[in-house]
Structure 1
Amino acid sequence: MQLEVRGLKSGYGKVQILHGIDLTVPPKEITAVLGPNGAGKSTLMKTIAGHLPVMAGEIHYRGNSLVGHSALSICKAGVGVVPQDRNVFPALTVRDNLRAASLAFEGAEERVAEVLRRFPILAERSDQAASTLSGGERQTLAIAMALVAGPDILILDEPTAGLAPIFVDRIVSWVRELAEEGMGVVWVVEQNPEKVLAVSGTAYVIDAGRNSETVDAKSLLAPGRLEEVLLQVNA
């Protein structure tokens, strides 16, 4: 089942940031969301995940509206999210971070064991505090924490920001594998756009809280197109 967002309006308090966004996230595909700074990309992800209230519009998944539901109920419905920052508990060990993320679900220990099998680097560091991990390891842990809930839709808010190239490649590869296994992925792209777009299906370009373009992601790899989209420079 795909996630459908229609006419979504949202923001912070009385300040409206999104002005009627449309978005479709099919299974087995990475859907890229990009645009200039301040376009409303993170606001869109937070609203879908239930971290911000919906002012107007609809969010549907599996035939049910997610509007007005708590972040936990949306997670239990099958929509996982990896925020850009403050996405792990620094003082807890890797294993305890995963346990904390799985507390609301049955079979917590089995869920933790499964993601540790998927990410051997975390298994090797399972007794280390999250604060001692490298940036790439910490972001891997954040993704693993989202996966313990067993989502069918995974929202990633720029998961490669500031990471070393080796971890960028690993995360792109891991996320591509998740999509190939059937998961629908929404990837907010700010850094490393070429690598993300190369493995994505559809790209939604957002500007000033509105849909600007909906295109085949790989078409944005044409010379000058990314600069046009991200910097708003006419090609």
Structure 2
Amino acid sequence: MLRLHDLTCGYGRSAVVHGIDLEIGADQVVSVMGHNGAGKTTLLRAIVGLIPAMSGTIEFDGADVTAKATNKRVKAGMAYVPQGQQCFAHLTAGENLRLVADGRKNAKALIDAQLDLFPALRPLLGRQAGLLSGGQRQQLAIARALITEPRLLILDEPTEGIQPNVVAEIESTIVDLAARGGLSVLLVEQHLGFALQAASRYHVLRSGRVASSGETGAEAESRVREAMSI
């Protein structure tokens, strides 16, 4: 579904991510971990086209999208949920969902499907999004992204600042979505337990380079902690 080959990217002339190779298969959840400043968000921004690649290639579903604009990548099936539970704070939760769904033939069904995934949002549809808790806003942000019916969902720190019970709900939802088929997930996460439980494969970034990669499992946490030097 996604293949990065020797990808280098950054800001201006300063490279932040250096020579990354990464693959995500169909219906696979892959996590990227690392400390602040490791290059995780920069990597995601390059994948969705918010910053240009300095060198290397980005392939999505077999097509080279390295030079494609962000809207073309979204149209092809990428959805990006940035860090920070972003939403339109002065709109209600329901208006946030309808804003994305409007113009789609099956708009009501798409909204209903997301409310089935995140039932805690149903009684909050009339409340301003800015008044929701961090966990509720994150569920709303993911629901908005899923309305676009992506084939690759890219999540940047979805558990940051969120209460543990909501973290568990988001993890369960991500795993269930991937298991249904038709959706791959790239998850950037510092919460090691969440990242290793949700994903089948991991990559650890350190100073913009891959320090460790492998399958998740019994030995993965010790390898991740060693690579992160914690």
Give aligned pairs, total.
228
Residue number in structure 1 paired with 2:96: 97
Report how far residue 18 of structure 1 moved: 1.2
Question: Aligned runs of 1:29-40 on 2, under 5 Å?
Answer: 29-40=28-39
SS at match of 1:90: coil
Range that drifts further, 95-104 or 159-168: 95-104
Q: State the 1:104 CA deviation.
A: 6.6
Is the contact made by 1:27 and 1:185 (CA closer than 8 Å) also made in structure 2?
no
AA at the equivalent of 1:229: A
The TM-score normalised by the length of structure 1 is 0.90
What is the DSSP-based 3-state SS (H/G/I as helix, E as strand, rest coil) of the residue aligned with 1:198?
Answer: helix
**What residue number does 1:170 align with?**
169
- Ranges in structure 2 where 5+ consecutive residues have no aligned partner: none
Q: Does the 8 Å contact 1:36/1:229 carry over to 2? A: no
How well do the aligned residues superpose, as a CA RMSD in angstroms? 1.7
Tell whether 2:131 aligns with 1:128.
Answer: no
Could you say which residue in structure 2 is the equivalent of 1:228?
A: 226
Range with bigger deviation, 105-114 or 132-141? 105-114
Q: Name the CA shift for 1:48/1:104 in 2 (closer, same or farther; >3 Å).
A: farther
Find runs of 4+ consecutive structure 1 residues off by over 3 angstroms. 102-110
Q: Percent identity?
A: 35
Counterpart mapping for 1:22-171 below 5 A: 22-85=21-84, 87-103=86-102, 105-171=104-170
Secondary structure of the 2:158 match is: coil
* Map of 2:185 onto structure 1: 185
Give 3-state SS (helix, strand or coil) of 1:156's partner.
strand
If the length of structure 2 is used for normalisation, what is the TM-score?
Answer: 0.92
Moved more, 115-124 or 47-56: 115-124
Given that 1:29 and 1:185 are in contact with CA atoms closer than 8 Å, whether structure 2 keeps it comes out as yes
Contact kept, 8 Å, 1:79 with 1:154, in 2: the verdict is yes
Aligned partner of 1:212 in structure 2 is 211
Take 1:44 and 1:81, find their aligned partners in 2: how far apart are those partners? 12
Residue 198 of structure 2 aligns to a residue whose secondary structure is: coil
Contact kept? 2:85, 2:158, Cα under 8 Å: no
Change (3 A) 1:198 1:47: same
Unpaired runs of 5+ residues, structure 1, are none
Is the contact made by 1:204 and 1:215 (CA closer than 8 Å) also made in structure 2?
Answer: yes
Asked whether the 8 Å contact 2:212–2:224 carries over to 1, the reply is no
